[in-house]
Amino acid sequence: MKDIEIIELFFRRTEEAITRLAEKYGAMCQTVAQRILRDRRDSEECVNDAWLQTWNAIPPQRPACLGGFVGRITRNLALNRLAYNHAQKRDSTLEEAFGELSGSLPDSGNMLTDEVTFQDFLNRFLRRQSEESRRYFLRRYWYGMSVPEIARECGVGEEKVKSALFRTRNKLRKAMEEEEIYV
């Protein structure tokens, strides 16, 4: 079923919308949640919460990309659950990934733009990168995969992944400075 048809089911408020959404994007959302939480039960609960949040968001929203919309909801819920579960403890893979990226991202107090504008900027930035760089970047910072996992899945060495991520982070910082994202 096409995304537009699933969205129309949401607008008609029929429960079939959730069924179709789960059929089409359930595996992706489960993967996103599982990579972050690393616990099957928490991941399942997170995905179910994502279906509820999607139900509450559509309508009035009409997402252009349903997969990205529900994926972002799932990811945000999983990150919130991770923070709750590990209030004092830290998941080393995600902490390491976010630590790497933090040097390339603005502090919330130093941004000239809002979250939506930053998301648009980040999407434009990633579209300008090579497919390989985008693949590594998203797997590391969106899905929370470790460098060895990325290397294994992509069939390359860990050093190649590390250096590609390093170069992409540097390009991100430079692009942010050029577009005056920082104060």
Domain ranges of the chain: 3-85, 92-178
pLDDT in tens, 56-113: 999 999 999 999 999 999 999 999 998 887 765 555 566 667 667 766 665 555 454 5
Q: Which residue, 3, 27, 28, is CA-closest to 17? A: 3
Q: How many CA atoms lie within 13 A of 108 on its CB side?
A: 1
pLDDT in tens, 117-135: 777 888 889 999 999 999 9
* DSSP per-residue codes, 64-103: S-HHHHHHHHHHHHHHHHHHHHTSSS--HHHHHHHHHHHT
CATH 3.40.50.300 fits 92-178, yes or no: no
CATH 1.10.1740.10 fits 3-85, yes or no: yes
User: Residue 155 pLDDT > 90, yes or no?
Assistant: yes
Decide if 3-85 and 92-178 have a common fold. no
Phi, psi angle pair for 144, to nearest 5°? 75, 30
